[in-house]
Amino acid sequence: MNITRAPRSQGVPYSLAVHGGAGARRTPLTTTEAADCREGLRRALTAGQHVLHGGGTALDAVCAAVVELEDDPLFNAGHGAALTQLGTVELDAAVMTGAGTAGAVASSTYARNPVLAARSVMEHTPHVLLVAPTQTLLESWGLKTVAPHDFVTPGRREELERVRSGLTEGARHGTVGAVARDAAGHLAAATSTGGITNQMTGRVGDSPVIGAGTYANDRTVAISCTGDGETFIRGVVAFDVSARIEYLASELGDAVERTFAERLDNVGGTGGMIAVNAAGDIVLGFNSAAMFRGYLAGDRPVTAV
């Protein structure tokens, strides 16, 4: 397992980490592709940092970071998301605050930024998860909407055709997310995804499932996951890390490692997660071949692909 412990920076009262998906790559990244992915992660970190540096909330920071990644066609969320068997886009997202409030959407086809739709579910309804929110509903919340085909890119069409033809398995993992601790000590997590290339219509992974792919608790940790969604759901992976911290007094890195060992490794599940605890310590871990990831070291963005 690959794990990075990035302790909180002295003199900076906030913490932020992002990811852009984990999994095996069909071919190695070119120098240009790697640079572009790093730049996308840097922009996300900068967007969240701007919020936190100005005294903003952890929730505002993770949403700002994820919006940047949803708008970047290099990542499997929002514009440029993976396509279903029918060649359509069905987007999932979730947000959760350390105070225990949460919102999520699944099979979203109109919200330009699904993470903001998830936040609106949390703030404007008594519910946690809505499936296929309508364009009218989204616009009533003041959100930007687009036609479903606007999410589709030529690269994703080509990828779907390769999968349909049996030339490649397609990207199994592809999700974006962010976790943050703000200057007031509050935590938040956000996750957004397009799912799996050639997935069945209506398939929903772990990203919008609270406790599986997304979780936050001010007493313990905020987590955003990426990987084999079904395995993360069965293992209630994000909550498992929090439970180890709360009930066993585990150190953050140890909690992440034990969750991977006992909830994923033993059933062949692969992927990754980013986490920040109540003290502001950051851990980024994955058991897959790679994970796009980054965090703030003080005010300096650090990225890896």
Catalytic residue positions, numbered: 175
- Among 222, 162, 167, smallest CA distance to 18 is for 222
3-state helix, strand, coil split of the chain in percent (to 5) is 35, 25, 40
Residues in the chain: 305
Please give the Cα distance from 11 to 18 (Å, whole number).
21
Cβ neighbors of 269 (< 8 A, separation 6 or more) are: 227, 228, 231, 232, 235, 263
Tell me the C-alpha to C-alpha distance, in Å, between residue 145 and each of 119, 134, 163, 186, 283.
15, 10, 29, 30, 34
Backbone dihedral angles phi then psi of residue 289, each to the nearest 5 degrees? -65, -30
How buried is residue 100: exposed, middle or buried, by Cβ count under 10 Å (0-12/13-18/19+)? exposed
What tokens appear for 26 in the block? 């069909």
